[in-house]
């Protein structure tokens, strides 16, 4: 469950960096990163999966809806957002792996995804 949520957020981040959303492309990406960091904190603190699912499912859906409203960013903006996303994901991946291991879950291999 948590693995799928993490991978879903990863895919959403990638798509958002390509399509944009919210007040600006940056604000949406920042909101997504903030949500993922909050989810990692909850995972580290042992929050039950059911509570995490309820809490973050609505946020992820809201971000997805915002993404549909904003037009595609320029090529330069896409590149900048993708670089920012990858940098943040590289920071989060080890933290997620530790939290997932502590919770007794296996972390999928993200090396093929640029991490």
Question: Any idea what DSSP says for residue 45?
Answer: T
Q: Which residues of the chain have pLDDT under 70?
A: 1-22, 105-115
What pLDDT does 97 receive?
Answer: 85
Contact 97, 110 (CB under 8 A): no
Question: What is the structure's pLDDT at 63?
Answer: 83
Q: Is 9 exposed, middle or buried (0-12, 13-18, 19+ CB in 10 A)?
A: buried
* H-only helix segments in 20-110: 25-44, 49-69, 75-102
pLDDT at 33: 92
Supply the pTM of this predicted model: 0.66
What is the pLDDT, as a whole number, of residue 35? 92
Give me the pLDDT at residue 79, please: 93
């Amino acid at each position: 469950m948590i693995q799928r949520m993490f991978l879903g957020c990863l895919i959403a981040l990638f798509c958002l960096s390509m399509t944009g959303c919210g007040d600006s492309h940056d604000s949406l990406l920042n909101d997504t990163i903030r949500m993922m960091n909050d989810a990692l904190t909850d995972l580290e603190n042992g929050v039950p999966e059911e509570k995490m699912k309820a809490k973050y499912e609505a946020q992820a859906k809201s971000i997805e809806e915002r993404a549909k409203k904003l037009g595609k960013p320029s090529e330069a903006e896409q590149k900048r957002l993708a670089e920012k996303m990858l940098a943040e994901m590289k920071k989060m991946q080890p933290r997620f792996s530790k939290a997932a291991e502590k919770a007794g879950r296996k972390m999928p291999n993200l090396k093929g995804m640029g991490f």
